[in-house]
Amino acid sequence: MRIIIVVDIERPIDFFVRIKVKFNPKDGKHITNTDVVEFDLSDKLQFAGSDSTANEKREFIKQGALTICEVVYTRDPLNGNIKVKFDFTQADAGVFDKEAAIADSSIKFEVDKK
């Protein structure tokens, strides 16, 4: 599936991603403590505001006291390509006893006009 979005390049872009992750191995298709899910967002971007020169941003997604995963946004300084990675190797062991969880993250980008 391909999604095309028209963006006003003069304003910051609010990006939000939500994934439902299954931990229950009933059908063999589930997230384990060795999994990483990565999305390639686009190139010619930079983080918005005071983070505009950063090439990496990190946050932990929690459900109650349990860490579900670490979300890592990386920016290639050569072409401005930004990827977001949901890293389940950082999850608390108790997470994998759950049926499922929601992992969501949001960030602001700007078009790199250079």
pLDDT at site 3: 60
- Strands (E) in the chain, as ranges, are 13-22, 36-42, 45-47, 56-63, 66-75, 82-87, 100-111
% of the chain beyond a pLDDT of 70: 90
Span 34-55, pLDDT tens digits? 999 999 988 888 888 888 889 9
> Which of 109, 7, 113 minimizes the C-alpha distance to 51?
109
- Strands (E) in 49-98, as ranges, are 56-63, 66-75, 82-87
Span 13-27, pLDDT tens digits? 888 999 999 988 777
> Which residues touch 6 (CB under 8 Å, ≥6 apart)?
none
Whether residue 5 has pLDDT greater than 80:
no
